[in-house]
Amino acid sequence: MDDLKSGSNLEKVLKAGHFALTGECGPPKGANVEHLREKFLHLKGVVDAVNVTDNQTAVVRLSSWAASAIMVQEGVEPNFQMVCRDRNRLAMQSDILGVYAMGVRNMLCLSGDHQKFGNHPQAKNVYDIDSMQLISLAKTMRDEGKFFNGEPIDVPPKLFIGAASNPFAEPYEFRVYRLAKKIAAGADFIQTQCIYNMERFREFIRQANDMGLTEKCYILAGVTPMKSVGMANYMAKQVPGMDVPESLIKRLKGVEKTKVAEEGIRFCLEQIEEFKTMKGVAGVHLMAIEWEHRVPEIAERAGLLPRPVVN
């Protein structure tokens, strides 16, 4: 245990060399705890940790720290997401201490979607620090036991620090360097943006391998099964930084309407199969958006169950 940074289940699974599987759960637009529980309990025992999104797409939801704490109570390991949009450095440090006190052991540091996308576009944004600096902050708090200002922390928060990487956003040439920066800042693990363009991802991971980055950090490949042709078109055209090849849209269009979701899952399973043996990929981050109940089936068919138990 001594050589573990946080002792989180996710860290233990990755450190033991298992192919990790993480899931995702968006808190409700309200205080409907029952609905939240129902959603994340589908993932219990099916994934190693569950990302809890933080006002994703800048839409107000039940706070990620509270949802994470509820998960801990239910025996599900959260990966607490924190964005830089809504908190200054005081609130960030306070919430990092807060989630640690509630039993949270993983944290994902993100810039956050601009508030213009969300349901309060009139809001003032914060961006006191950026995601790179947030990674560095969480690491300083954990490893040096110090606040941003250098003052000592009375019981430092020992969190397994994650960050995101988007291999598909422009400028492509810089993306692997930005990944390197996040690792240098202190990221222990990376979850990538949803991958659909496998060719580009293979090139990205090859670059990361060549630079020695995959030896310093665990990279979890992000996948989101397509539920419909409409969803694929939306992702392709409307979501910034998303790369959905025409060939995938064609493939989904090529099957009967009632079988599109199954085809989307099949593509996802093929991806996972390739990731399992891809050098430099330590696991999969399965973002089944509002499809949590299908995750057990996908994990089963991907041959990822049962999940390893590492003590």
Max distance between CA atoms of the chain, in angstroms, equals 62
CB 36 within 8 A of CB 69: no
Rounded to an integer, what distance in angstroms lies between the CA atom of residue 175 and that of residue 166? 7
**Between the CA of residue 96 and those of 82, 109, 288, what are the distances in Å?**
9, 11, 26
Note whether 184 binds another protein by CB under 8 A: yes
Query: Closest distance between another protein and the C-beta of residue 283, in Å?
Result: 20
Closest CB to another protein among 46 and 222? Answer: 222
Closest CB to another protein among 125 and 247? Answer: 125
Note whether 170 binds another protein by CB under 8 A: yes
Q: Which secondary structure element, helix H or strand E, spans residue 15, and what is its range?
A: helix 9-15
Note whether 127 binds another protein by CB under 8 A: yes
Q: For residues 187-202, b (16+ Cβ closer than 10 Å) or e, as one string?
A: bbbbbbbbbbbbebbe
Question: Interacting stretch for another protein, rule CB under 8 A, among 26-34, 62-70, 163-171, 195-203?
Answer: 163-171
Rounded to an integer, what distance in angstroms lies between the CA atom of residue 204 and that of residue 191? 14
Note whether 289 binds another protein by CB under 8 A: no
Closest CB to another protein among 127 and 158? Answer: 127
Query: Closest distance between another protein and the C-beta of residue 136, in Å?
Result: 6
Strand pairing partners for 189?
Answer: 162, 218
Among 109, 185, 208, 268, binds another protein (CB under 8 A): 185
Note whether 113 binds another protein by CB under 8 A: yes
Strand pairing partners for 165?
Answer: 192
Q: Which secondary structure element, helix H or strand E, spans residue 173, and what is its range?
A: helix 172-185
Note whether 133 binds another protein by CB under 8 A: yes
In 3D space, the residue among 140, 202, 148, 207 whose CA is nearest the CA of residue 180 turns out to be 207
Among 31, 94, 144, 177, binds another protein (CB under 8 A): 177
Closest CB to another protein among 128 and 274? Answer: 128
Query: Closest distance between another protein and the C-beta of residue 271, in Å?
Result: 19
Rounded to an integer, what distance in angstroms lies between the CA atom of residue 171 and that of residue 146? 35
3-state secondary structure of 25: strand
Query: Closest distance between another protein and the C-beta of residue 311, in Å?
Result: 35
In 3D space, the residue among 62, 61, 58, 64 whose CA is nearest the CA of residue 122 turns out to be 58
Among 130, 262, 273, 300, binds another protein (CB under 8 A): 130
Question: Interacting stretch for another protein, rule CB under 8 A, among 41-49, 131-139, 248-256, 295-303?
Answer: 131-139
Rounded to an integer, what distance in angstroms lies between the CA atom of residue 175 and that of residue 167? 6
In the chain, the amino acid numbered 207 is Q
Binding mask 53-92 for another protein (x = CB under 8 A): -------------------------------xx---x---
- What is the binding site for another protein (CB under 8 A)? 84-85, 89, 111-114, 116-117, 125, 127-133, 136-137, 148, 164-166, 169-171, 173-174, 177-178, 180-181, 184-185, 193, 240-241
